[in-house]
Amino acid sequence: MTRTGKGRAELTEGPIREAMDRKQAREHEFEGLSYLRVTDDAHGLSRGIVAVGGEVVPTYPHIGRIFVLREGVRATFDAPFRAEEKIDGYNVRIVRSGGKLLAFTRGGFVCPFTVDRLPDLAELDPLFDEDPSLVLCAEVAGPGNPYLHGQVPHVSEDVAFFGFDLMRKGRSGFVPLDERDALFERHAIPRSRVLGDFAPDDFEGLRRVVLQLDAEGAEGMVLKPPAEGKRVKYVTPAVNLADVVEDASLLAELPGEFFASRIVRLAIGLDELGLEGRSGEMAERMGHALLEDFEGTVRQFRQEGIVTRSFDIRMRSEERLELLLRQLDQSAKSVNFKEISRERRDGYIHCRLAKQYQRSTSWLHTIMRGGSVID
């Protein structure tokens, strides 16, 4: 990598080929197209960088979280910035290569679900016709996604597409927001909501926006400078509570920090936003979920011998569905995916899948038979 003006790094295929020799990158194939995927952070390359058709797709950078709005914004920005809605889905980077639209996950795999469903979600070719060097960063969200559980406001079924950034092949850094907005508008890219421009000391303005997002059950917002510079994210109290409540049945599966960190964020958010009056009611919903939903898990285990949750997806192509199932099984560390049913209807394959949670299943298997544990 070499640095160019404005601190952007130029990305070429050479270092990724070298990473192949060190076993820090791997070659994959998707529908006849081969691509390289960096598998580990090392030697200045990040996990998830992809080389395809001789061009490099940069990673979408991880964005720091602020826990308090007033001081977080002051510490991050010294000039007006943009607030945009943060969508609770999965992140993909979309490029066109060899005439084909490809969607890469954070880990750098082609996502067969996204590629399969893109024609339903967004018309992207005109964007890439205008500038084939673009990388479109988007969130795919909704109950019919194969990766994440949970409700998303405004997406009551299946999935929807939310573009939120543009990058360019061969370099890191974002396309400036004005330029991005013009391209999104010209090509009617479905996108996440722009919530407004704010001065760093406009706490009241931001607070009003957060209270509105919170009331909708939205995840939160990403705060972005107009071009280069640091970005931060902030999530609503509602979504911290929802995360705890929705995954309480997995209390023996997920790391304890999953729950503790969200309760901590919730408390800090309620305190800063002046919502202490809602603590009592939220506390009770949280308590009921944590204790009683996990009691439900214990009952499920006693009846079925397994901790499992099912969900529904729909896809167009059988082959891509099979590839998705293989990738899900390979990428999940302690979850098995099991197909429950498959039905062709209205031009789609409707597939019901179950996640079988291995960690809590095997732990409950041990202790419900009377096993003892030294802890």
Residues near a copy of itself (CB under 8 A): 62-68, 70-76, 230, 232, 251-252, 255-261, 263-264, 266-268, 270-271, 276, 279-280, 282-288, 290-292, 294-295, 297-299, 367-375
Name which of 346 and 375 has its Cβ closer to a copy of itself.
Answer: 375
**Nearest approach, Cβ of residue 187 and a copy of itself (Å):** 32
**Nearest approach, Cβ of residue 277 and a copy of itself (Å):** 12
Q: Under a CB-based contact definition with an 8 Å cutoff, are residues 213 and 221 in contact? A: yes
Name which of 255 and 347 has its Cβ closer to a copy of itself.
Answer: 255
What does residue 199 show for φ and ψ, rounded to 5 degrees? Answer: -85, 150
Name which of 337 and 363 has its Cβ closer to a copy of itself.
Answer: 363
Inter-CA distances, 82 with 100, 193, 213, 236, Å: 32, 11, 15, 17
Query: C-alpha 101: how far from its chain's center?
Result: 20
How many residues are there in the chain?
375
Name which of 2 and 79 has its Cβ closer to a copy of itself.
Answer: 79
| Phi-psi map region of 83: left, alpha, beta (phi>0 left; psi -120 to 50 alpha) | beta
Name which of 198 and 259 has its Cβ closer to a copy of itself.
Answer: 259
Q: Which two tokens stand for residue 170?
A: 């061969």
Name which of 142 and 269 has its Cβ closer to a copy of itself.
Answer: 269
Name which of 182 and 260 has its Cβ closer to a copy of itself.
Answer: 260
**Nearest approach, Cβ of residue 60 and a copy of itself (Å):** 13
**Nearest approach, Cβ of residue 82 and a copy of itself (Å):** 17
Inter-CA distances, 329 with 73, 211, 213, 341, Å: 40, 39, 35, 17
Name which of 327 and 361 has its Cβ closer to a copy of itself.
Answer: 361
Q: How does strand 134-141 pair with strand 50-52?
A: unpaired
Return all residues near 67 (Cβ < 8 A) that are at least 6 apart: 234, 265, 268, 269
Name which of 135 and 244 has its Cβ closer to a copy of itself.
Answer: 244
Q: Which two tokens stand for residue 335?
A: 């979850």
**Nearest approach, Cβ of residue 89 and a copy of itself (Å):** 18
**Nearest approach, Cβ of residue 201 and a copy of itself (Å):** 12
Name the amino acid, one letter, at 126.
P
| Phi-psi map region of 60: left, alpha, beta (phi>0 left; psi -120 to 50 alpha) | beta
In eight-state DSSP terms, residue 152 is B
**Nearest approach, Cβ of residue 27 and a copy of itself (Å):** 29
- Hey, CA dihedral for 171, 175, 180, 186, is it positive or negative? negative
Q: Which two tokens stand for residue 148?
A: 């994440």
Q: Under a CB-based contact definition with an 8 Å cutoff, are residues 114 and 158 in contact? A: no
- Residue 341: count other Cβ atoms within 10 Å of its Cβ: 10
Greatest Cα pair distance in the chain: 65
In eight-state DSSP terms, residue 201 is T
**Nearest approach, Cβ of residue 332 and a copy of itself (Å):** 20
**Nearest approach, Cβ of residue 136 and a copy of itself (Å):** 23
Name which of 112 and 269 has its Cβ closer to a copy of itself.
Answer: 269
**Nearest approach, Cβ of residue 255 and a copy of itself (Å):** 6
